[in-house]
Structure 1
Amino acid sequence: MKITELLRKDTIKLRLDSTTKADVIDELVNILDKAGKLNDREEYKKQILKREAEFSTGIGEGIAIPHAKTAAVKTPALAFGIKKEGLDYESLDGTDAQLFFMIAASEGANNEHLDTLARLSSMLMNKEFKDNLINAGSPDEVLRLIDTQEKEYIKANSNSAKSEETEETHAPSSKYVLAVTACPTGIAHTYMAADSLNNKGKEMGIDIKVETNGSTGVKNRLTDEDIKKADGIVVAADKQVEMGRFDGKKLIEVSVSEAIKDPEGLINKALSEDAPVYHADKKDKSGKKTRSERKGFYKHLMNGVSNMLPFVVGGGILIAISFMFGIKSFDPKDPSYNIISKLIHDVGGTYAFSLMVPVLAGFIGMSIADRPGFAPAMVGGLIAANNGAGFLGGLIAGFLGGYVVVLLKKVFSGLPDSLEGIKPVLLYPLIGILITGIIMLLFIVDPVKAINTWLTQWLGSMGTANKVILGIILGGMMAIDMGGPVNKAAYTFGIAMIAAGKFEPHAAIMAGGMVPPLGIAIATTIFKNRFDKEERDAGKTCYIMGATFITEGAIPFAAADPARIIPASVVGSGVAGALSMMFNIGLPAPHGGIFVIPIVNGNPLLYVFAIIIGSFITAALIGFLKKPIMTDVM
């Protein structure tokens, strides 16, 4: 598609009346609205201003490209205006803007539209082209200039691609730099930053390859071989990009605007000996270990679990609060009935908590197949929740809905480009929901319901000895990887049991999850000569993290000394889980630490005793296993 198919005479104004940034945005929005390109003028303007709030789209050198991608746009379009004397648009380089391209991209804009808009952004990096536009005498001349420049751009990039295919015939540069560019909308700044880096790299005589993360997906993806031989990497991004692949490489991480403003400085920094080395497993400011990238099954599962947790925690704790009035006080037929208890229970259980399984499934599906996977997976999760398949059924629905849409994408990949826009709004939801729903109802619900019924009966028939063994297993699992897949497997099992009305397993799980940070905190207090000053200071925060059931607070210590910290934590957590089960403690709330201990089923003091015993066992083992260090402990 040509740029002039999006830019028409009625969306060009050669002499803008505006004198301020707010005025020019309003004027260009009016031009698009009068041309019939918008569904909702105010909503479109709101999205333009929201984008400006992130950072100014005045990219410098006399250019501003305000843009938004929203359902308020009826037809993808461009508005173009000139203010020859310039006006203050808060540009990156401090100069006044003279050329204004306002991009209106519809929510369902296909790749061809978005590629065309990206091409315009790159073309504007040509100074001669910009000067000619400023001095254009008519809308026809503007369209002619753009057509001519577009043909030259396409030809130049075609020749560049051919030269890259035969690059082995040329002597390679002594330096090789990689870059990734990405902005929130992925329409303009992503590609302008890429061109800025590419052009400056060529000017400096440096081989450079730039990956763009735009609205149409990843283009010019960096390969493992590229990364292996790179001398330096620049990540210019204002949204999340795939970072784990750069582990161990010199890397500069900046805003996308920095790549437009100072590409030479970034390239030099990435190549300097002082450039920081990126580590995929690192600590954030709180000392908590963060992981930049997850893959496959675990990534999809964690996307579902993380989005489910607010419903689980909020709804679950509300249910637990309602139990404070009496375990059946929410039931109008029970003698202990209390209207406040029923109100709280309805909000937490009937509404918030009941969304747990559908939300889990929906976000698993979205992780697998992007936004089109959300609806089929969420409907599958609702079917599971309403038909007794529960948490396990929701997991299956999430993966089923996601991969059904992945299959549909392949099936429909051969459709004409003109039908691209109806895929996400019609074909994927219609056929995806139908297929997922039929499979869930006919093949998944009944078998999974039978498994859930058997599991509930099995837990109910357990004797004390078997419960203690289960408590050891669940408590120990919470400490093995402290927030990783084993920890989350135990935690999600506990949530499933709460949903099934069995509260004892989750009590053991929370006790086991509280022990590692609490045990480490106690160890840094009692065995000071085993830790340096920084570790002792970090140990104080572990009291808070452990008390509030944040197992991840132990991760920095486990990462520094896994051979001693992890075994000590697993033993202490296992003991706490076993004691919790032995004391018949039930926990109706999915989270909360010390704040939900008063509402446990059973004796709260015995539950606290179980956690304290487990924590001191962990602390004692750490003190025994770790050797004193030669440092001042005063």
Structure 2
Amino acid sequence: MSEMITADLVDLDLSADTKEAAAQALAERMVTLGRVTDLGGFLADVAAREAQMPTGLDGGIGIPHCRSEHVTEPTLGFGRSAAGIDFGAADGPADLIFLIAAPAGADDAHLTILSSLARKLMNAEFTDGLRAVGDAERAAALIRGDDQPAPAGTAAAAADAVDTADASGPGASDSPAGSTDSTDSTDSTDSTDSTDSTDSTDSTDSTDSTDSTDSTDSTDSTDSTDSVAAPVAASAGAATGTTGDGTRDAGTSGAGASGESARLFRIVAVTSCPTGIAHTYMAAESLENAGREAGVEIAVEPQGSAGFTRLDPAVIAAADGVIFAHDVPVREKERFAGKPTVDTGVKAGINRPAELIDEVRGKAERGEATAAAAPGDSPVDRAGEPGEGYGTKLRKWLMSGVSYMVPFVAAGGLLIALGFAIGGYEINEAPSVTEYFAWAQADSWGALLFQIGGVAFGFLVPVLAGYIAYGMADRPGLVPGFVGGAISLTVNAGFLGGLVSGLIAGAVVLAIQRVRIPVALRGIMPVVVIPLVSSAVVGFLMFVVIGKPIAEAQKAMTDWLNGLTGTNAILLGTLLGLMMCFDLGGPVNKVAYTFATAGIAVASPSDSAMKIMAAVMAAGMVPPLAMALATTVRGKLFNRTERENGKAAWVLGASFISEGAIPFAAADPLRVIPASMVGGAVTGALSMAFGATLRAPHGGIFVVPLIGNPLLYLIAIAAGVCVTAALVIVLKGLRKPVPGADGAPGGESSAAPVAESKQPVAA
């Protein structure tokens, strides 16, 4: 990392008191050196990464990082805080803060160099040295792994001793014959990593008496700790070290290892994080260290931004258990099917690896064939971290189904609405287009769109149920979930039936997975046994036991909605408006949106259901439009990045993407969120009072022609936008000017902005 950090990028007296201020202080140094071209844009990218998952680690470490188009070359900034800064770690504030800036198009070598820092942070001697170092130059040298001894008797010599201790790695022998790589913080085998930028100079280490690439030599018996590093599975015949693209193999080929390995428990692991730079490799290093201490064989596959090398199939086949420590989906997960599996977040892999190893050994002893909680396409799909309450897990399971259902709702609903717009409100009575279709008649095209939308709507309940089960039990839950959802439609249990059947399907699969299965049958469990048994059980329950009661409950709810008039309807509109603006695309927002779309997910929705859909969409448009208006009217109250986000918020709000207000809410939640909720409540109530209706579940102003009472509907939206914008302006005007706003000290971009959501979800 000789080119990534210099003394100019080190602040040993970091005075910031928040993580945003700390990131800004270090980023300003990068701007000064020309490593970052746009301070505001870069900080927005850092904040967006931070919003995905806190970057604080146990042990007093904060490691904010991101890939950004505003970074010209891979850069590392380091700050040391005397008071400590909260980065969200469980054990308290961080005093060592590393800001990693990677270019958006960084190549594999650069990203792997960045990952070497992550591995160093697992070494207590390295972090202790950074806490003791007295000047910026020495700190930068320590982080780079440089070997530059100072004259004896000076303060710098003491600091150099810290560097030397770090270079020898944990557990290195006090004897100068202990062979380790100066850039490998925890594992002597890492010195063969082809991306280790200081490996070629390791032979100059005054404490290293052997070749820098020879630390894995089976004859090296001087280091009593390194010589017992966990061997690789004998059947795989894999070599020790780190492959060129980052796959870690936690073994050695030391003398006698092959005879001992047959008696050791074997684990394969996968680690990954949203950015794929830091936490991915820190978790890999932590698991490998814990594996050595526990006396087990462990091979880790870090799936980082620089790509990954798949574990040898022979290693996977020989493994007794699997650990997934990840916050993004495991790629090619089917390779690990049929084995006892522990599935958790990447931070658990960093903070409590020994517990994960014990857990997977326990599952293997009980004969559990696969993971009890597996990931989907995003963190919300997983069952959650160990220790989470059942309510939290239930919310994640339900949101998994809803997130997959929403695209079907949007596509089907818009197609149906366009069919009505082109063919008139009697288009639902048109004959099938397979029987009659005239190319020159608008009615035929309207019928075509209407019937395609109807087919898309037919998938709503099965998809909801299937992916609720998927969120609970991974791929084996899909078949019984879809079957249960289809049966819900057959018995008229509708949306409620889909929710219940999805939960039942997931629970049945989890129960089957806990049954002790002979090893010979494990391979066919996910493909044959689990789908067969779970589908039969779910089908029986839905057809014979609970389907009819759920159908009656669904009918009662529909009748209640159809009976809402006057004050009751206005109160419902107010409540829905508050929910839509509470978390701007989060769980509460989705509950309100799903409630509305469930009502129109039929060929002929009731008038009340269409009023509810109109109120929900109107309220969801208010926050981004209001923020756009506020930044236009009183730009001095906002920093430059917020004003830029305000321009985009016009389009996002008009398109019914509530997430357009997230940058403003994240930066100033106590003012923006309450103001948004008030405006949303006003709009929801007015929409219901005006009797506006909507057949489309999405589209914003672009589906105004499909809205009943469109003029009054737009007035309701305008009223809520004005209320929210006025409240935000008043509340922000009561505080001191924002640093970075026009006329405020600190310049245009001194305030740390929050990034706009990169993946808008249907409000």
Same fold (TM over 0.5): yes
Give the drift of 1:487: 0.8
| Aligned with residue 625 of structure 1, among 731, 745, 758 | 731
Partners of 2:380 and 2:399 within 8 A in 1: no
Determine helix, strand or coil for the equivalent of 1:181: strand
Query: What is the letter of the counterpart of residue 299 of structure 1?
Result: K
After superposition, the C-alpha distances for 1:410-442 in whole angstroms (9 at most, x for unaligned) are 23x2x2111112212221111101111111122
Select the residue among 621, 645, 649 that pairs with 1:538.
Answer: 645
In the superposition, relative to structure 1, how do residues 515 and 219 fare at CA in structure 2: closer, same or farther (>3 Å)?
A: same
| Residue 307 (structure 1) aligned with residue 412 (structure 2) | no
2:262 is aligned with what amino acid? I
In structure 1, how many angstroms separate the alpha carbons of the residues matched to 2:320 and 2:426?
A: 52
Three-state SS of the structure 2 residue aligned to 1:420 is helix
C-alpha contact 1:300 1:364 (8 A) present in aligned 2: yes
5 Å matches for 1:34-183?
123-125=238-240, 150-151=258-259, 153-154=261-262, 157=264, 181=271
CA–CA separation in structure 2 for the residues paired with 1:236 and 1:450 = 39
Of the three residues 400, 421, 426, the one matched with 2:523 is: 421
Aligned position for 2:417: 320
Query: What are the superposed Cα offsets for residues 490-529 of structure 1, whole Å, 9 maximum, x if unpaired?
Result: 0110011112512111110111111111111111111223
1:342 to 404, 427, 447: 447
**Partner Cα separation in structure 1 for residue 235 and residue 285 of structure 2:** 11
Change (3 A) 1:209 1:217: closer
Alignment length (residue pairs) = 426
Secondary structure of 2:571's aligned partner: helix
Amino acid at match of 1:123: A
Q: Distance in 2 between matches of 1:516 and 1:319?
A: 28
Aligned runs of 1:222-621 on 2, under 5 Å? 243=345, 245=347, 296-324=393-421, 325-332=423-430, 338-349=443-454, 351-411=455-515, 413=516, 415-499=517-601, 501=605, 502-600=609-707, 602-621=708-727
1:190-201 to 2 correspondences below 5 Å: 198=288
Cα pair distance change 1:311/1:536, threshold 3 Å? same
Give CA-to-partner distance per residue, 1:102-150, whole Å, 9 cap, x none: xxxxxxxxxxxxxx997655723389xxxxxxxxxxxxxxxxx9xx985
Looking at structure 1, the residues matched to 697 and 329 of structure 2 have their Cα atoms a distance apart, in angstroms, of: 39
Helix, strand or coil at the partner of 2:695: coil
- Name the CA shift for 1:92/1:585 in 2 (closer, same or farther; >3 Å): farther
Distance 1:118 1:448, change over 3 A: farther
Change (3 A) 1:431 1:575: same
Superimposed CA distance per residue, residues 301-322 of structure 1 (whole angstroms, 9 cap, x where no aligned partner): 1211111122111111100100
Residue number in structure 1 paired with 2:228: none
Q: Give the CA deviation at 1:572.
A: 0.4
User: Contact 2:578–2:680 (CA<8 Å) still a contact in 1?
Assistant: yes
Q: What's the CA shift for 1:565?
A: 1.1
1:366-397 superposed Cα distances (whole Å, 9 cap, x missing partner): 11111111101110011112221111110111
Map of 2:361 onto structure 1: none
CA distance in 2, matches of 1:118, 1:407: 31
- Aligned-residue offset at 1:446: 1.6
Identical positions, percent = 41
| 3-state SS in 2 of match to 1:590 | coil
**Separation in 1, partners of 2:627, 2:350:** 30
2:637 touches 2:729 (CA, 8 Å); kept in 1? yes
Distance 1:339 1:291, change over 3 A: closer
What's the counterpart of residue 51 of structure 2?
A: none
* CA shift in 2, pair 1:154/1:93, >3 Å: farther
Distance 1:576 1:425 in 2: 50
Q: Secondary structure at the match of 1:421?
A: helix
Q: Give 3-state SS (helix, strand or coil) of 1:503's partner.
A: helix
| Distance of 1:397 and 1:581 partners within structure 2 | 32
Aligned partners of 1:472 and 1:417: how far apart in 2?
Answer: 57
Contact 1:478 1:512 in 2 (8 A): yes
TM-fit CA distance, 1:584:
1.1
Q: Which amino acid aligns with 1:330?
A: N
Structure 1 residues 126 and 248, CA gap change in structure 2 (3 angstroms): closer
C-alpha distance in 2 between matches for 1:242 and 1:572:
39
Amino acid at match of 2:543: L
Cα drift, residue 201 of structure 1: 12
Q: Is the 1:319–1:348 contact (alpha carbons within 8 Å) kept by the matching residues of 2?
A: yes
* Distance in 2 between residues matched to 1:153 and 1:182, nearest whole Å: 27
Contact 1:471 1:577 in 2 (8 A): yes
Q: How far off its partner does 1:559 sit?
A: 2.1
Contact 1:125–1:195 at 8 Å: present in 2 too? no
Cα–Cα, structure 1 residues 459 and 201, in superposed 2: closer, same or farther, change >3 Å? closer
More deviation in 538-547 or 511-520? 538-547
Please tell me the root mean square deviation across aligned C-alpha atoms, in Å: 4.5
Question: Deviation string for 1:567-589 (max 9, x for gaps)?
Answer: 11111001111111111111111
**Amino acid in structure 2 at the alignment position of 1:618:** T
Flag the structure with higher helix content. 1
Q: Tell me, yes or no, if the aligned pair for 2:417 and 2:706 is still in contact at 8 Å.
A: yes
How many Å separate the matches in 1 of 2:289 and 2:347?
25
Tell me if structure 2 keeps the 8 A contact 1:181–1:210.
Answer: no
Deviations 1:289-312 (A, max 9, x none): x98985511221121111112211
- Amino acid in structure 2 at the alignment position of 1:393: G
Equivalent residue letter for 1:517 = P
Secondary structure of 1:344's counterpart equals helix
Structure 1: distance between partners of 2:585 and 2:597: 15
Q: What amino acid maps onto 2:645 in structure 1? A: A
**Cα contact 1:211–1:221 (8 A) shared by 2:** no
Counterpart Cα distance in 2 of 1:298 and 1:395: 12
Distance, in Å, in 2 between the alignment partners of 1:346 and 1:528 is: 48
Separation (CA, whole Å) in 2 of partners of 1:309 and 1:317: 12
Query: In structure 2, what is the equivalent of residue 11 of structure 1?
Result: none
Deviations 1:74-111 (A, max 9, x none): xxxxxxxxxxxxxxxxx9779xxxxxxxxxxxxxxxxx
Q: For 1:220 and 1:382, how far apart are their aligned partners in 2?
A: 34
1:238 CA displacement = 6.7
Q: Distance in 2 between matches of 1:427 and 1:237?
A: 24
Opposite residue 537 of structure 2, the aligned amino acid is I
Which amino acid is the alignment partner of residue 662 of structure 2? I
Answer yes or no: is the 8 Å Cα contact 1:122–1:195 preserved in 2.
no
Distance 1:348 1:477 in 2: 28
Post-superposition CA distance 1:423-470 (Å, at most 9, x none): 122211111011111111223222222222222222222222211111
Instruction: Indicate conservation of the 8 Å contact 2:286/2:350, yes or no.
Output: no
Unaligned runs of 5+ in 1: 1-53, 60-90, 95-115, 128-144, 162-178, 184-189, 203-207, 223-232, 250-289
